[in-house]
């Protein structure tokens, strides 16, 4: 089909995870039915479809890790495991009949905007072309597994598994296993593998701050109450939201609360680890909050099992048989597990995005990404992003942020229709002022306090996190200020 024959949809969405499906759902509820979702995999679920490693779970209480417009009374644990979260996403898709909007196995290779028609065109690896008035990039910031840059990685003759691409057929029983990485996925995988492997070695580069995780099975009466009285669940949700908001004062900024949280984390470590040297090796030397704060009550005990050992020597290389560390020893394994997270595009874009007059977003972002309210970028009319620059939460549920971005997109798309205009393009100076303020505020946060993290680019520019409370973020997203935008009419001329 030639480009001109291709139908023009109202909205095209890249990605069928929480963000993409949630956007489609709310657009539908607001009368925008003509939506196409392009999904590179064969199923919905995004990061929760891919992260099925043993122990995978959410760091945010389950009642808060769901959309407020589609709450789930069935959560069985205070912190839901990945299978339950996946079930919730599947339930969303069935309940709101969203699957019919998704074109599976379509890997987007580019997005481009046509000035004259005001239409976005997505191309896919499979040769499809999809056109729409608005485009939503909801591919997720944590969707591409990242492997560490270790010499000899390809030489290893044993089994390799990445946490985001788990091989459930592999039997760890009786095996010697090395886990590389002790971040969010590492601390969840290690306790599970320690139960199965004959020998487990955990390679840590930098220890993280770890707070206890109060995970428990939810009583049946609670589920019954939530089913019958959704307001009760909303009240619990609001309570959890406020509790997490209050923690922001200790995670985002250097306040006495930060010191209190560090004390709590150290007490947790002291309580669980008796050996002084191991405790030293597990104690971070950066401010709590500078990197992602983890929640686990079973990581430290797992490290002290007879079959498990923490290795903090720097990794020199990977050989045919295992991992060689700086103290000159080759640690030999049957299987290497990479719990090394994702490539986070805090500069550049996951695929080329061409805006007005052929400008390319990756080029403009090569020194660090920036946007307006993390959702629009000047010069890219009607392009919306979920988890765009500076929308990362450090203390609260990602879904709270996603939800306010979704509502903003709904406003944007419905505004186009109600005003009868071709496009909304955020003004360049408005975006610049917004980012100046953001960076000024970011400079005072713990994220910019000197540690290296995936939140920052190599130059130390923070294009990832939002420097404030989730409620502040939600408030700024509540209104779409038309004065911040150039309104492009049918002819393409600014109004």
Site residues (vs another protein, CB under 8 A):
201, 275-278, 280, 285, 313-314, 316-317, 319, 321-322, 324-332, 452
Centre a 10 Å sphere on the Cβ of residue 171 and count the other Cβ atoms it contains: 10
Q: Which is nearer to another protein, 66 or 325 (CB)?
A: 325
Q: Which is nearer to another protein, 174 or 314 (CB)?
A: 314
- Taking the complex as a whole, the smallest distance from the CB of residue 317 to another protein amounts, in Å, to 7
User: Which residue has 């640690």 as its token pair?
Assistant: 331
> Per the structure block, which two tokens stand in for 249?
């004062």
- Taking the complex as a whole, the smallest distance from the CB of residue 53 to another protein amounts, in Å, to 25
- Taking the complex as a whole, the smallest distance from the CB of residue 279 to another protein amounts, in Å, to 10
What are the residues facing 123 on neighbouring strands? 110, 129
CA dist 271 and 11 (Å) reads 53
- Taking the complex as a whole, the smallest distance from the CB of residue 441 to another protein amounts, in Å, to 24
Q: Which is nearer to another protein, 98 or 311 (CB)?
A: 311
Q: Which is nearer to another protein, 147 or 286 (CB)?
A: 286
Q: Which is nearer to another protein, 217 or 276 (CB)?
A: 276
CA dist 150 and 19 (Å) reads 33
- Taking the complex as a whole, the smallest distance from the CB of residue 1 to another protein amounts, in Å, to 52
- Taking the complex as a whole, the smallest distance from the CB of residue 193 to another protein amounts, in Å, to 18
Percentages helix, strand, coil for the chain (3-state, rounded to 5) are: 35, 20, 45
Q: 35-38 and 8-14: which strand pairing? A: parallel
Q: Which is nearer to another protein, 21 or 318 (CB)?
A: 318
Helix (H) or strand (E) holding 361, with range, is: helix 361-364
What are the residues facing 111 on neighbouring strands? 122, 353
Is the backbone of residue 287 left (phi > 0), alpha (psi -120 to 50) or beta?
Answer: beta
User: Which residue has 């995004």 as its token pair?
Assistant: 46
Q: By the 8 A CB rule, do 461 and 368 touch?
A: yes
What is the SS3 assignment for 202?
strand
- Taking the complex as a whole, the smallest distance from the CB of residue 222 to another protein amounts, in Å, to 44
User: Which residue has 């686990």 as its token pair?
Assistant: 296
φ, ψ for residue 492 (rounded to 5)? 95, -5
- Taking the complex as a whole, the smallest distance from the CB of residue 456 to another protein amounts, in Å, to 12
Q: Which is nearer to another protein, 100 or 276 (CB)?
A: 276
φ, ψ for residue 376 (rounded to 5)? -120, 155
CA dist 64 and 66 (Å) reads 6
Q: Which is nearer to another protein, 109 or 281 (CB)?
A: 281
């Amino acid at each position: 089909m030639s480009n001109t024959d291709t139908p023009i949809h109202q909205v095209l969405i890249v990605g069928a995870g929480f963000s993409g499906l949630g956007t489609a759902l709310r657009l539908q509820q607001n009368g925008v039915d003509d939506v196409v979702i392009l999904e590179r995999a064969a199923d919905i679920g995004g990061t929760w479809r891919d992260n099925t490693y043993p122990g995978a779970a959410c760091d945010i209480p389950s009642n808060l890790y769901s959309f407020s417009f589609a709450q789930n009374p069935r959560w069985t644990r205070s912190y839901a495991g990945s299978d339950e979260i996946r079930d919730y996403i599947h339930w969303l898709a069935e309940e709101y009949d969203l699957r019919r909007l998704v074109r599976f196995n379509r890997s987007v290779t580019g997005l481009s905007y046509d000035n004259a028609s005001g239409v976005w065109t997505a191309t896919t690896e499979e040769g499809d072309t999809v056109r729409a008035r608005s485009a939503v990039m909801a591919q997720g910031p944590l969707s591409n597994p990242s492997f560490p840059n270790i010499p000899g990685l390809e030489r290893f003759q044993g089994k390799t598994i990445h946490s985001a691409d788990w091989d459930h057929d592999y039997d760890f029983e009786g095996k010697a296993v090395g886990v590389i990485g002790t971040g969010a996925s590492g601390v969840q995988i290690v306790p599970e593998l320690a139960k199965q492997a004959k020998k487990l070695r955990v390679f840590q580069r930098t220890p993280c701050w770890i707070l206890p995780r109060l995970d428990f099975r939810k009583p049946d009466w609670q589920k019954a109450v939530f089913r019958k009285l959704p307001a009760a669940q909303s009240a619990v949700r609001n309570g959890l939201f406020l509790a997490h908001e209050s923690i922001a004062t200790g995670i985002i900024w250097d306040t006495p609360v930060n010191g209190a949280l560090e004390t709590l984390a150290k007490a947790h470590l002291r309580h669980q680890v008796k050996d002084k040297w191991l405790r030293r090796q597990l104690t971070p030397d950066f401010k709590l909050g500078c990197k992602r704060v983890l929640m686990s009550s079973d990581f430290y005990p797992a490290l002290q099992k007879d079959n498990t050992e923490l290795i903090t020597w720097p990794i020199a290389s990977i050989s045919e048989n295992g991992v060689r560390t700086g103290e000159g020893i080759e640690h030999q394994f049957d299987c290497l597990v990479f719990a090394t997270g994702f490539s986070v595009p805090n500069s550049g874009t996951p695929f080329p995005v061409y805006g007005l007059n052929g400008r390319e977003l990756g080029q403009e972002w090569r020194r660090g990404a920036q946007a307006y309210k993390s959702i629009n970028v000047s010069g890219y009319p009607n392009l919306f992003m979920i988890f765009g620059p500076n929308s990362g939460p450090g203390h609260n549920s990602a879904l709270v942020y996603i939800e306010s971005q979704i509502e903003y997109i709904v406003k944007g798309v419905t505004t186009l229709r109600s005003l009868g205009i071709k496009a909304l393009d955020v003004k360049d100076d408005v975006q610049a002022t917004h980012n100046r303020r953001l960076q000024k505020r970011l400079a005072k946060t713990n994220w910019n306090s000197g540690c290296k993290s995936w939140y920052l680019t190599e130059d130390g520019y923070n294009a990832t996190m939002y420097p404030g409370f989730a409620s502040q973020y939600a408030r700024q997203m509540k209104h779409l200020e038309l004065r911040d935008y150039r309104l492009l009419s049918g002819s393409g001329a600014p109004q």
